[in-house]
Structure 1
Amino acid sequence: MAGMYCASRGLCVFFVCTAVILSVTGGSDAAVVTTTHGDVSGSEFLTSSVVGNAVFDRVFTFKGIPYAAPPVAHLRWRPPQDHTGWTGVRDVTEFGSRCPQVEFDLSQYNLTGTILDAFPFRSNSSSEDCLFLNVYTPNVSDTANLPVMVWIHGGGWNSGSADTYPAEIPTSLHNVVMVTLNYRLGNLGFMQTLDDDAPGNFGLLDQIKALEWVRGNIRNFGGDPDKVTIFGESAGGWSVSMLVMSPMATGLFHRAISQSGVAGVPVVQKGDITLTQLLAHSLNCSTDSYEDMMSCLYWLPSEYLLTLLYPPVVIDGRFLLQSPWDLMNNKVINRVDYLLGSNNDEFATLASEVPYVDADGLTRAEFETYLPYHLQHTVDQYLGGSIDTILQPVIDQYLDPDMADDPIYLRDQFLQLQTDAWFAAPTVMMAQAQSGMPAVAWQASSRVYQYELQHRASVFSFFRPAFVTGADHADDLYFVFGIPLLRDDTGTSWKYSYTQEERDLSLDMMAYWVNFATNGDPNDFTGAARMRTLVTWPRYMTSSQSYLKLNMASSADVRLRESNMKFWNEEVPRLMGKDLNTGSGGIRETSCILSVLAFTFVVSYLMA
Structure 2
Amino acid sequence: MMTVAVNEFLDDLRGGRMTEAPTVSVQQGQLQGRTVNSPSGKAFYSFQGIPYAKPPLGSFRFKAPQPAESWDGVRDATSEGSVCPQIDPIITKQFTGDENCLYLNIYTPNLDGAFLPVMIYIHGGGFRNGSGSASLYGADFLVEKDVVVVTINYRLGALGFLSLNTPEVPGNAGLKDIVQAIRWIKENIHNFGGNSGNLTVFGESGGGVATAILTASPSTKDLISKAIIQSGTAINHAVYQKCPISNAKKLVNILGGEAEDVDDILEFLNATSAKELVEATEKLASDGVEFGVTIEKEFGDVEAVLTESFYDVLTSGRVADIPIMIGSTSLELTLERKSDDLQDLIPEELHIERNSEQSLEIAEGIKSLYFKGSHTGVESLNEYLELLSDTMINIHTHRHVKYLVQVSNKPVYYYKFDYVGELNWSKKLLASLGLNHAGHLDELGYLFSNEMIKDVEATPQDLKMRERMVRLWTNFAKSGNPTPEENYYLTVTWLPVTHDNLYFLNLGSELSLGSNPDKAKMDFWDEVYTKYFRIWDQPRTNTEEAVRKTDIIISVTEQTPVAYQEEIVAVSVEETPVVTNEIIVVPETTPEEPLVQISETPEPVKTEPVIVDEIEVVQESSPVQVVDNNGVDKEEDVHEIEPTPVHISNGNSNEVKKPRTSNEIKMVQQPNGTPKDVIRANDPPEDDLPKNIGVNKFVNFFESLGGKK
TM-score, normalised to structure 1's length?
A: 0.76
* Equivalent in the alignment of 2:438: 471
Alpha-carbon displacement from aligned partner over 1:514-537 (angstroms, at most 9, x marks no partner)? 0000000001269xxx98443221
Task: After TM superposition, give the deviation of residue 83 of structure 1 in Å.
Answer: 1.5
Higher helix fraction (1 or 2): 1
Alpha-carbon displacement from aligned partner over 1:351-379 (angstroms, at most 9, x marks no partner)? xxx3x59xxxxxxxx4218x62x66xx42
One-letter identity of the residue aligned with 2:252: A
Native 8 Å contact 2:138 2:450 kept in 1 = no
Native 8 Å contact 1:285 1:297 kept in 2 = no
The answer to whether structure 1 residue 324 and structure 2 residue 310 are counterparts is: yes
* Equivalent in the alignment of 2:22: 31
The answer to whether structure 1 residue 260 and structure 2 residue 231 are counterparts is: yes
Native 8 Å contact 2:162 2:244 kept in 1 = no
- Structure-2 change in CA distance of 1:102 and 1:483 (3 Å): closer
- Structure-2 change in CA distance of 1:385 and 1:82 (3 Å): farther
The one of 524, 531, 548 equivalent to 2:484 is: 524
* Equivalent in the alignment of 1:514: 474
Alpha-carbon displacement from aligned partner over 1:233-271 (angstroms, at most 9, x marks no partner)? 111111101111111111111100011111114366898
- Structure-2 change in CA distance of 1:297 and 1:89 (3 Å): same
- Structure-2 change in CA distance of 1:485 and 1:536 (3 Å): farther
Task: After TM superposition, give the deviation of residue 205 of structure 1 in Å.
Answer: 0.6
Native 8 Å contact 1:133 1:179 kept in 2 = yes
Note the 1:331-350 alignment, pairs <5 A. 331-347=317-333, 349-350=334-335
One-letter identity of the residue aligned with 1:153: H
RMSD: 3.2
User: Is the partner of 1:207 in helix, strand or coil?
Assistant: helix
The answer to whether structure 1 residue 73 and structure 2 residue 58 are counterparts is: yes
The one of 460, 463, 469 equivalent to 1:500 is: 460
The answer to whether structure 1 residue 146 and structure 2 residue 97 are counterparts is: no
Native 8 Å contact 2:121 2:150 kept in 1 = yes
**How many Å separate the matches in 1 of 2:446 and 2:45?**
22
Native 8 Å contact 1:515 1:525 kept in 2 = no
The answer to whether structure 1 residue 539 and structure 2 residue 496 are counterparts is: yes
The one of 236, 245, 261 equivalent to 2:207 is: 236
Task: After TM superposition, give the deviation of residue 294 of structure 1 in Å.
Answer: 1.3
* Equivalent in the alignment of 2:251: 279
Task: After TM superposition, give the deviation of residue 170 of structure 1 in Å.
Answer: 2.0
* Equivalent in the alignment of 1:22: none
**How many Å separate the matches in 2 of 1:135 and 1:458?**
28
* Equivalent in the alignment of 2:507: 550
Alpha-carbon displacement from aligned partner over 1:116-153 (angstroms, at most 9, x marks no partner)? xxxx99xxx61001000000000012x21100000000
The answer to whether structure 1 residue 214 and structure 2 residue 190 are counterparts is: no
User: Is the partner of 2:87 in helix, strand or coil?
Assistant: coil
**How many Å separate the matches in 2 of 1:407 and 1:130?**
45
**How many Å separate the matches in 1 of 2:84 and 2:536?**
40
**How many Å separate the matches in 2 of 1:435 and 1:403?**
37
Native 8 Å contact 2:216 2:318 kept in 1 = yes
One-letter identity of the residue aligned with 1:194: N
Native 8 Å contact 1:58 1:138 kept in 2 = yes
Native 8 Å contact 1:484 1:498 kept in 2 = no
Note the 1:442-453 alignment, pairs <5 A. 445-453=409-417
* Equivalent in the alignment of 1:599: none
The one of 318, 325, 340 equivalent to 1:367 is: 340
User: Across the two proteins, how many residue pairs are aligned to each other?
Assistant: 503
Task: After TM superposition, give the deviation of residue 404 of structure 1 in Å.
Answer: 3.3
User: Is the partner of 2:99 in helix, strand or coil?
Assistant: coil
One-letter identity of the residue aligned with 1:500: P
User: Is the partner of 1:403 in helix, strand or coil?
Assistant: coil
**How many Å separate the matches in 1 of 2:377 and 2:277?**
41
The answer to whether structure 1 residue 564 and structure 2 residue 521 are counterparts is: yes
User: Is the partner of 2:207 in helix, strand or coil?
Assistant: helix
- Structure-2 change in CA distance of 1:149 and 1:564 (3 Å): same
One-letter identity of the residue aligned with 1:346: E
**How many Å separate the matches in 2 of 1:540 and 1:484?**
36
* Equivalent in the alignment of 2:218: 247
Native 8 Å contact 2:423 2:445 kept in 1 = no
- Structure-2 change in CA distance of 1:518 and 1:28 (3 Å): closer
Native 8 Å contact 2:122 2:207 kept in 1 = yes
Q: Which runs of 5+ in 2 are unaligned?
A: 1-16, 299-303, 542-709
Note the 1:157-196 alignment, pairs <5 A. 157-163=127-133, 164-196=135-167
**How many Å separate the matches in 1 of 2:202 and 2:166?**
30
**How many Å separate the matches in 1 of 2:90 and 2:402?**
41
Task: After TM superposition, give the deviation of residue 544 of structure 1 in Å.
Answer: 0.8
Task: After TM superposition, give the deviation of residue 415 of structure 1 in Å.
Answer: 0.9
Task: Indicate the structure (1 or 2) with the bigger Cα radius of gyration.
Answer: 2
Task: After TM superposition, give the deviation of residue 167 of structure 1 in Å.
Answer: 3.3
Query: Percent of pairs identical after alignment?
Result: 28
* Equivalent in the alignment of 1:392: 360
Native 8 Å contact 2:248 2:265 kept in 1 = no
Task: After TM superposition, give the deviation of residue 496 of structure 1 in Å.
Answer: 2.3
* Equivalent in the alignment of 2:407: 437
**How many Å separate the matches in 2 of 1:319 and 1:484?**
34
* Equivalent in the alignment of 2:100: 129
Q: Which runs of 5+ in 1 are unaligned?
A: 1-25, 109-119, 358-365, 439-444, 489-494, 587-608
User: Is the partner of 2:219 in helix, strand or coil?
Assistant: helix
Native 8 Å contact 1:546 1:558 kept in 2 = yes
Native 8 Å contact 1:136 1:171 kept in 2 = no
**How many Å separate the matches in 2 of 1:523 and 1:268?**
35
Task: After TM superposition, give the deviation of residue 29 of structure 1 in Å.
Answer: 3.1
Alpha-carbon displacement from aligned partner over 1:74-119 (angstroms, at most 9, x marks no partner)? 00111100112101110010100000001246479xxxxxxxxxxx
* Equivalent in the alignment of 1:17: none
**How many Å separate the matches in 2 of 1:82 and 1:419?**
39
Task: After TM superposition, give the deviation of residue 290 of structure 1 in Å.
Answer: 2.1
Task: After TM superposition, give the deviation of residue 584 of structure 1 in Å.
Answer: 8.0
**How many Å separate the matches in 1 of 2:458 and 2:98?**
36
Task: After TM superposition, give the deviation of residue 458 of structure 1 in Å.
Answer: 3.8
Task: After TM superposition, give the deviation of residue 196 of structure 1 in Å.
Answer: 2.5
The one of 561, 578, 584 equivalent to 2:535 is: 578
**How many Å separate the matches in 1 of 2:452 and 2:507?**
18
- Structure-2 change in CA distance of 1:42 and 1:299 (3 Å): same
**How many Å separate the matches in 2 of 1:323 and 1:388?**
29
One-letter identity of the residue aligned with 1:496: V
Native 8 Å contact 1:343 1:452 kept in 2 = yes
One-letter identity of the residue aligned with 2:23: V
- Structure-2 change in CA distance of 1:531 and 1:177 (3 Å): farther
